[in-house]
Amino acid sequence: MGVLKNSKKFTRRDFLKRTTAGIFSSGVLVNRGKYFRVKGEKFPANDVEMKYRILGRSGLKVSEIGMGTWEAPNENVMSYAIDKGINYIDTAPEYKEGEEERMIGRVVKNRRDKVVIASKIFTTSKSTKQETMKSIEAILKRMQTDYIDIIMIYQVGEILPRRGITKGIERLKNENVIEVANQAKKDGKIRALGVSSHGGDLTGYMNYAIDSGNFDMIMIKYNFMTFPEEEKITKKAKEKNVGSVAFKVVGGAYDQKIKGYENSRTPEFRRAAIKWVLSNPNITTLVIRMPTFEEVNNCLKSLSEKMGYNDKKMLERYASAVKPYFCRWCGTCTQACPYSVAIPTIQRYLMYYTNFNHQRTAMQKYAKLLPEQRAEYCFECSALCEKICPNNIPIKEILTEAHRTLKSDIT
């Protein structure tokens, strides 16, 4: 990747301050709060033909672009997306405490067979059969449906002590969960079982999930800034007939104007990121937020375009600009932390606050971390995490800034 030309020199502290304020002076303009209010070009979405792929051995036919419902669009936008052929909808019970699932249920009530819905359950290594079935039944009740197409074990790799989750791969080995899922398939309550992960030992978790034969699909963060191991994971999944769903596809979602590419705006950047992901034939579908009618149209347009030279250069310039600050969630840093700080998770919460304009959600999530997981220990720490980080990210500075920014909701 090339180095940005005409970039102003700035310190890491400047980056954090200017990101929060809305300006990234190396050539990326972070326009907080405007990212999902896409304005600009209009085009006839009716001219775009949706494409579909088969989600591994589940046999489910899913649109190449799926709708994510974290901080979801309104019902009209979701209905519009379904009308345009987007049939894969991803959600989770924690999204607005189940309200997103209820909304999906209302939208698809009269066309349930037209959509493939994926939701998730938190399980531990000790979850019982009764607890697991109760979680599935609660999703069905909120959606007012007889079945859910895909149930995923949620956020494998996250350490969530308040939920009793202190280990990673052991969650995937819980035979109670597998038995309940298999019985739910036989009873017609679910159609596929999967695994979702933001990071941590992503390679270990997903290789186990694929090799175990217990899971029909995997959901992983995958974008133009991720590391090569994820390519290997999707290839292996395809060979084992396990579907692969990509999320976090825009690499941090910094609203940006890249110097030298004045004609490139957010819609073009998002389309380039989508095209990059779908260029991998081992990916079944991707999940992306589409909160407006314009954003639905913009994402659909990517299906009618080929990945070109300008797309690649745009992504390269973006990656070069944010590389020193963008956490890949590889989990390497956590091995060196003497305090059990949730380093990648906190960086993600700061991204929610700064890039997605979801300040309250970010602060609430941070408040739910245990005291020892928060970044207040980082102020006096010698930053061993930085010494081991393979991407040379200024972790201490980012985490101390995150604590100052997010702590206001802690009571």
What are the DSSP calls for 203-248, one per residue? Answer: HHHHHHHHHHS--SEEEEE--TTS-THHHHHHHHHHHTT-EEEEES
pLDDT of 286 > 80? The answer is yes
Considering only the top CATH level, what class is 45-318?
Answer: alpha beta
Q: How confident is the model at residue 30 (pLDDT cuts 50, 70, 90)?
A: very low
- Position with higher pLDDT, 349 vs 190: 190
Mean pLDDT over the full length of the chain: 82
pLDDT of 152 > 90? The answer is yes
* Residue reference for tokens 């999204």: 95
Q: How confident is the model at residue 131 (pLDDT cuts 50, 70, 90)?
A: very high
- Position with higher pLDDT, 95 vs 13: 95
The pLDDT of residue 249: 92
The pLDDT of residue 276: 95
* pLDDT tens-place string over residues 380-408: 898 889 888 888 889 999 999 999 999 86
The pLDDT of residue 216: 98
Distance separating alpha carbons of residues 252 and 347, to the nearest angstrom:
11
> Which of helix, strand or coil describes residue 196?
strand
Q: Where in the chain is the domain with CATH 3.20.20.100?
A: 45-318
Question: What is the b/e burial string over 340-353, where b = at least 16 CB atoms within 10 angstroms of the residue's CB?
Answer: ebbbbbbbbbbbbb
- Position with higher pLDDT, 12 vs 342: 342
The pLDDT of residue 272: 94
> Which of helix, strand or coil describes residue 14?
helix
* pLDDT tens-place string over residues 73-92: 789 999 999 999 999 999 99
> Which of helix, strand or coil describes residue 388?
helix
- Position with higher pLDDT, 72 vs 57: 57
The pLDDT of residue 244: 97
- Position with higher pLDDT, 35 vs 308: 308
Measured from the Cβ of residue 83, the count of other Cβ atoms closer than 10 Å reads 12
Question: How many residues does the structure list for the chain?
Answer: 411
The pLDDT of residue 93: 86
Q: How confident is the model at residue 125 (pLDDT cuts 50, 70, 90)?
A: confident
